């Protein structure tokens, strides 16, 4: 059990590339923390620095209050689960799991009991004498976990441990990783590029981009109060819709029409000193088919109507895609986010809006639909710095 | 039915072809073996199967000092050269496969150059150098050039084996609490074993079969190896034909190679690294 503190930790490669820049994270004892970000954001580098597999170029890493920068991996007492599992192919499952204990010169009886206990937790008991090559992906993944938990380390580091599994298995393993961590109560740092894993697993999520920490907070907080455009676009699936807009006389003018600002938003925007040009963000679930909104709500909200480009019915809900003509150019920031999130739009002048509608909606592809949205759920961002102008502390 | 006949015909054609290839490769070897079992009188009768079987030739070569001593030299020199070349080659290959250091490309290039260098052009300089240094006609005098020419081979084969071992296994071992030496010994070395044995076989054969250095850098039985000694074979008298004894010796010196290959082949298990990482 340990607390891990990254104090201005920096990684600079010999060629001058900055992989991680002044990262400050305090990980409490027993906490499950997720590092999430697009590829190349420095999350794996950060994890390798905590593990001791990569040198720290600047700043300090403290494990339980003690400086650990110069400690070798074996002296940090941290276990790691690799994306590729990295099982020893010449050893049986039992030997694989016993390996850390053997290195620590634990006596045979203890090794046996600890391995069997870990195997029981991970449901591997009947596979103990098999070789990794004869196991399925999910079983190999569990062996890798077993090798990590068997010696009760200070902390677990997991480097995208589920990304090699198929979708269904990934869902199951996600639940069991979460349960296992709660059961053991060991500090865990988990790296992923999948925002779903980030949302569902962690106590807190650290969003990284280009080696910089963007925001740290609980998943729900990040979802409701993203600090900037990047976090807003990265967290949530489908991601938040962004529309370039202008603020004029207490109203927001954009491709969604002219919407009066609610009192709450006006106060926040004024206190943040926003300029005239902003980017408005609104999540897909804050839209609804007008026909399904009762009168009382309808009056309070705003509406726009457009042609449904694509309609995806998921059974429980429907996703309707619209493309809106936008007079304002997309900001550079938005384009980068789209690229980072891997959803770079097909080149076009319009803005694509994704809306999540109730399954009862009668929307049809190619037909015009009137869509209602709640103006109080709009978030406004500075188009240059990306800062959230409606951020509430 | 038509299909079956077609496959049968195909099989027959392939079998015939295989037999021709095997016969082409094995007839000279079997001929030597046959000669070695023939008595002196029937040696030149041209029969493939000896009419009179005899073990005299074998008895003769082991009775002669001029075969037994070179055999010991051959075994000793080849084993020592193989051991040193494989150990050095392992270190070099590991560095080449794992590390990025300045001059790596140069090192690989130079070792390739050595492998391609015509050995005959080195014989005279080596002869003079070794005479000056007192290495001429000694075991080290042969072991050193053998190592030089075996190293490029060892480095090449070993580095391709090392490259196949997932890098993450070593990281995993470190995380599990292993020192770099333990990680190498307990994780990397067992996985590299097939490569090491393959390399050992190749290097051993290279040293064992060498004739050029063996004939040029030795002068007495102190270090002369079997391939060189064979060329000095004479009969019991000056006028006796040594064909029988040479054949017997040729058969005998192939035996260590066969044993060596059989012994190590069991350890060459392909695909040992499968299952380490998600394939």
The answer to whether position A125 is within a domain reads: yes
The answer to whether position B33 is within a domain reads: no
Mean residue pLDDT across chain A:
88
Is pLDDT above 70 for A8? yes
Residues A255, A343: Cα–Cα separation, whole Å: 21
pLDDT tens, residue by residue, A15-33: 888 999 999 999 999 999 9
The two tokens of residue B115 are 């492998």
The two tokens of residue A133 are 């090559």
Nearest CB among B178, B272, B275 relative to A87 is that of B275
Nearest CB among A85, A99, A135 relative to B176 is that of A99
Task: List chain A residues with CB under 8 Å of B178.
Answer: 74, 103
Both A182 and A281 in a single domain?
Answer: no
Residue written as token pair 């004894």: B245
The answer to whether position B101 is within a domain reads: yes
Chain Cα centroid distance, residue B223? 18
The two tokens of residue A289 are 């088919």
**Banded pLDDT at A272 (limits 50, 70, 90):** confident
Question: Is B177 close to A133, i.e. CB distance below 8 A?
Answer: no
Tell me how close the Cα of A96 comes to any Cα of chain B, in angstroms: 10
Whole-angstrom distance between the N-terminal and C-terminal Cα of chain B?
41
For B73, residues 6+ apart whose C-beta sits below 8 A from its C-beta are: B139, B221, B222, B223, B224, B225, B226
If one counts every other C-beta atom within 10 angstroms of the C-beta of residue A362, the result is: 11
Between strands A277-282 and A351-358, the pairing is unpaired
Contact A190, A158 (CB under 8 A): yes
Kindly state whether B175 is in contact with chain A, defined as any CB-CB distance less than 8 angstroms.
yes
The answer to whether position B203 is within a domain reads: yes
Both A343 and A245 in a single domain?
Answer: yes
Residues A89, B191: Cα–Cα separation, whole Å: 8
The answer to whether position A133 is within a domain reads: yes
Question: Is A103 close to B171, i.e. CB distance below 8 A?
Answer: no
Averaged pLDDT for residues A66-90: 91
Q: Pick from A208, A229, A250: which residue ends a domain?
A: A229
Both A264 and A135 in a single domain?
Answer: no
Chain Cα centroid distance, residue B211? 13
Dihedral angle computed from the Cα positions of residues B213, B219, B224 and B226, in that order, rounded to the nearest 10 degrees: 80
Q: Pick from A197, A229, A261: which residue ends a domain?
A: A229
The answer to whether position B261 is within a domain reads: yes
Contact A148, A181 (CB under 8 A): no
Nearest CB among B169, B171, B177 relative to A88 is that of B169
Both A43 and A175 in a single domain?
Answer: yes
Both A112 and A203 in a single domain?
Answer: yes
- Give the pLDDT of residue B39: 84
Question: Is B172 close to A132, i.e. CB distance below 8 A?
Answer: no
Q: Strand A251-254: give its sheet, edge to edge.
A: A257-260, A251-254, A241-248, A277-282, A379-381
Question: Is A103 close to B169, i.e. CB distance below 8 A?
Answer: no
Q: Three-class SS of residue A68? A: coil
Averaged pLDDT for residues A234-248: 86
The answer to whether position B2 is within a domain reads: no
Question: Is A164 close to B278, i.e. CB distance below 8 A?
Answer: yes
- Give the pLDDT of residue B132: 93
Contact A174, A123 (CB under 8 A): no
The answer to whether position A241 is within a domain reads: yes
Contact A6, A45 (CB under 8 A): no
Both A103 and A137 in a single domain?
Answer: yes
**Banded pLDDT at A169 (limits 50, 70, 90):** confident
The answer to whether position A386 is within a domain reads: no
Please provide residue A370's backbone torsions phi and psi, each rounded to the nearest 5 degrees.
-95, 130
Percentages (nearest 5) of helix, strand, coil residues in chain B: 70, 0, 25
Measured between CA atoms, the residue of chain A closest to residue B176 is A100
What CATH number corresponds to the domain at position B178?
1.10.3720.10
Q: Which helix (H) or strand (E) holds A245?
A: strand A241-248
Residues A255, A77: Cα–Cα separation, whole Å: 55
- Give the pLDDT of residue B198: 84
Question: Is B175 close to A140, i.e. CB distance below 8 A?
Answer: no
Tell me how close the Cα of B89 comes to any Cα of chain A, in angstroms: 23
Interface of A with B (CB under 8 A): 51-53, 72-74, 77-80, 82, 84-90, 99-100, 103-104, 131-135, 137, 140, 147, 151, 157, 164
Both A67 and A179 in a single domain?
Answer: yes
Residues A86, A109: Cα–Cα separation, whole Å: 26
Measured between CA atoms, the residue of chain B closest to residue A143 is B276
- Give the pLDDT of residue B279: 42
What CATH number corresponds to the domain at position A120?
3.40.50.300
pLDDT tens, residue by residue, A97-115: 999 999 999 999 999 999 9
Averaged pLDDT for residues B195-206: 88
Both A135 and A198 in a single domain?
Answer: yes
Averaged pLDDT for residues A180-184: 91
Question: Is B171 close to A86, i.e. CB distance below 8 A?
Answer: yes
Tell me how close the Cα of B161 comes to any Cα of chain A, in angstroms: 15
pLDDT tens, residue by residue, B82-121: 999 999 999 899 889 888 888 888 988 888 888 888 888 8
Residues B220, B223: Cα–Cα separation, whole Å: 7
Tell me how close the Cα of B181 comes to any Cα of chain A, in angstroms: 12
Is pLDDT above 60 for B202? yes
Both A208 and A246 in a single domain?
Answer: no
- Give the pLDDT of residue B167: 83
**Banded pLDDT at A347 (limits 50, 70, 90):** very low
The answer to whether position A114 is within a domain reads: yes
Nearest CB among B175, B178, B190 relative to A79 is that of B175
Question: What domain range is A253 assigned to?
Answer: 236-381
- Give the pLDDT of residue A349: 47
Tell me how close the Cα of B273 comes to any Cα of chain A, in angstroms: 6
Contact B130, B141 (CB under 8 A): yes
- Give the pLDDT of residue A220: 94
Both A133 and A249 in a single domain?
Answer: no
Task: List chain B residues with CB under 8 Å of A90.
Answer: 190-191, 272
Q: Strand A287-289: give its sheet, edge to edge.
A: A287-289, A368-373, A302-307
Interior angle at CA B137, CA B134 and CA B140, nearest 5: 75
Residues 176-215 of B with CB under 8 A from A: 176-179, 182, 186-187, 190-191
Is pLDDT above 80 for B237? no
**Banded pLDDT at A129 (limits 50, 70, 90):** very high
Between strands A241-248 and A78-81, the pairing is unpaired
Is pLDDT above 90 for A188? yes
Nearest CB among A86, A104, A157 relative to B277 is that of A86
Residues B91, B165: Cα–Cα separation, whole Å: 15
For A306, residues 6+ apart whose C-beta sits below 8 A from its C-beta are: A322, A323, A324, A353, A368, A369, A371
The answer to whether position B31 is within a domain reads: no
Nearest CB among B168, B178, B186 relative to A84 is that of B168
Is pLDDT above 60 for A348? no
For A165, residues 6+ apart whose C-beta sits below 8 A from its C-beta are: A137, A138, A141, A173
CA separation (Å) from A293 to A286, A376, B31, B196? 12, 16, 98, 74
Is pLDDT above 50 for B162? yes
The answer to whether position A224 is within a domain reads: yes
What CATH number corresponds to the domain at position A259?
2.40.50.140
The answer to whether position A390 is within a domain reads: no
**Banded pLDDT at B258 (limits 50, 70, 90):** confident
Kindly state whether B277 is in contact with chain A, defined as any CB-CB distance less than 8 angstroms.
yes
Both A71 and A189 in a single domain?
Answer: yes
Question: Is A90 close to B272, i.e. CB distance below 8 A?
Answer: yes
Both A273 and A210 in a single domain?
Answer: no
For B55, residues 6+ apart whose C-beta sits below 8 A from its C-beta are: B37
Q: What is the ipTM of this complex?
A: 0.79
CA separation (Å) from A206 to A23, A319, B45? 10, 29, 90
- Give the pLDDT of residue A6: 93
- Give the pLDDT of residue B73: 93
Question: What domain range is B141 assigned to?
Answer: 64-265
Q: What is the 3-state secondary structure (H, E, C) of B26-88?
A: HHHHHHHHHHHCECCCCCCCCCCCCCCECCHHHHHHHHCHHHHHHHHHHHHHHHHHHHHHHHH
Contact A190, A35 (CB under 8 A): yes
Q: In chain A, how many domains are there?
A: 2
Q: How many residues does this entry show for chain B?
A: 279
The two tokens of residue A319 are 């996703």
Tell me how close the Cα of A241 comes to any Cα of chain B, in angstroms: 37
Contact A147, A99 (CB under 8 A): yes
The answer to whether position A67 is within a domain reads: yes
């Amino acid at each position: 059990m340990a607390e891990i503190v990254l104090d201005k930790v920096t990684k600079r490669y010999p060629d001058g590339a900055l992989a991680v820049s002044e990262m400050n994270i305090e990980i409490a004892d027993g906490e499950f923390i997720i590092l999430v970000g697009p590829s190349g954001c420095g999350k794996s580098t950060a994890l390798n620095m905590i593990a001791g597999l990569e040198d720290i170029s600047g700043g300090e890493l403290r494990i339980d209050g003690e400086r650990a920068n110069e400690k070798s991996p074996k002296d940090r007492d941290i276990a790691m689960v690799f994306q590729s599992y990295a099982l020893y192919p010449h050893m049986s499952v039992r030997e694989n799991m016993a390996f850390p204990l053997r290195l620590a010169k634990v006596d045979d009886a203890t090794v046996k009991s600890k391995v069997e206990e870990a195997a029981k937790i991970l449901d591997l008991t009947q596979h103990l004498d098999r070789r990794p090559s004869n196991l399925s992906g999910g079983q190999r993944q569990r062996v890798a976990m077993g090798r990590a938990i068997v010696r009760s380390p200070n902390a677990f580091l997991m480097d995208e441990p589920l990304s090699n599994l198929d979708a269904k298995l990934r869902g199951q393993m996600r639940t069991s990783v979460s349960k296992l961590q709660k059961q053991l109560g060991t500090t865990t740092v988990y790296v992923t590029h999948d925002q779903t894993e980030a949302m569902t697993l962690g106590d807190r999520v650290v969003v990284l981009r280009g080696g910089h920490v963007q925001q740290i907070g609980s998943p729900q907080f990040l979802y409701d109060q993203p600090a900037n455009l990047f976090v807003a676009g990265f967290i949530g699936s489908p991601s938040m819709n962004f529309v370039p807009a202008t603020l004029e006389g207490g109203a927001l003018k954009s491709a969604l029409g002219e919407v009066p600002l609610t009192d709450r938003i006006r106060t926040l925007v004024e206190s943040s000193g926003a300029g005239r040009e902003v980017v408005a963000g609104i999540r897909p679930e804050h839209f609804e088919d007008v026909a399904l909104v009762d009168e009382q709500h309808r009056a309070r909200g705003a509406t726009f109507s457009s042609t449904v480009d694509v309609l995806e019915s998921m059974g429980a809900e429907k996703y309707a895609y619209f493309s809106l003509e936008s007079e304002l150019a997309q900001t550079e920031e938005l384009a980068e986010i789209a690229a980072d999130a891997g959803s770079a739009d097909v080149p076009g002048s319009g803005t694509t809006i994704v809306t999540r509608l109730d399954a009862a909606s009668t929307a049809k592809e190619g037909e015009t639909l009137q869509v209602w949205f709640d103006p109080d759920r709009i978030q406004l961002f500075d188009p240059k710095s990306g800062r959230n102008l409606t951020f509430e502390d | 039915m038509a299909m079956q006949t077609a496959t049968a015909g195909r099989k027959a054609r392939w079998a015939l072809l295989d037999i021709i290839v095997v016969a082409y490769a094995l007839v000279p070897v079997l001929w030597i073996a046959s000669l070695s079992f023939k008595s002196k009188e029937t040696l030149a009768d041209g029969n493939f199967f000896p009419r009179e079987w005899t073990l005299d030739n074998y008895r003769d070569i082991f009775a002669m000092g001029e075969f037994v001593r070179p055999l010991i030299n051959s075994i000793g020199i080849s084993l020592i050269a193989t051991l040193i070349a494989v150990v050095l080659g392992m270190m070099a290959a590991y560095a080449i496969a794992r590390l990025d250091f300045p001059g790596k490309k140069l090192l690989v290039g130079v070792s390739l150059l050595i492998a391609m260098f015509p050995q005959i052009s080195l014989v005279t300089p080596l002869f003079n150098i070794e005479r000056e240094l007192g290495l001429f006609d000694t075991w080290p005098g042969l072991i050193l050039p053998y190592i030089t020419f075996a190293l490029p081979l060892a480095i090449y084969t070993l580095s391709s084996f090392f490259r196949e071992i997932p890098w993450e296994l070593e990281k995993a071992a470190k995380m599990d609490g292993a020192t770099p030496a333990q990680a190498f010994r307990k994780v990397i070395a067992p996985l590299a074993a097939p490569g090491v044995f393959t390399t050992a076989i190749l290097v051993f054969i290279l040293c064992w079969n060498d004739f050029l250095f063996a004939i040029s850098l030795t002068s007495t039985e102190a270090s002369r190896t079997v391939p060189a000694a064979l060329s000095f074979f004479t009969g019991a008298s000056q006028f006796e034909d040594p064909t029988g004894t040479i054949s017997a010796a040729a058969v005998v010196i192939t035996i260590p190679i066969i044993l060596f290959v059989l012994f190590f082949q069991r350890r060459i298990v392909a695909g040992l690294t499968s299952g380490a990482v998600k394939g």
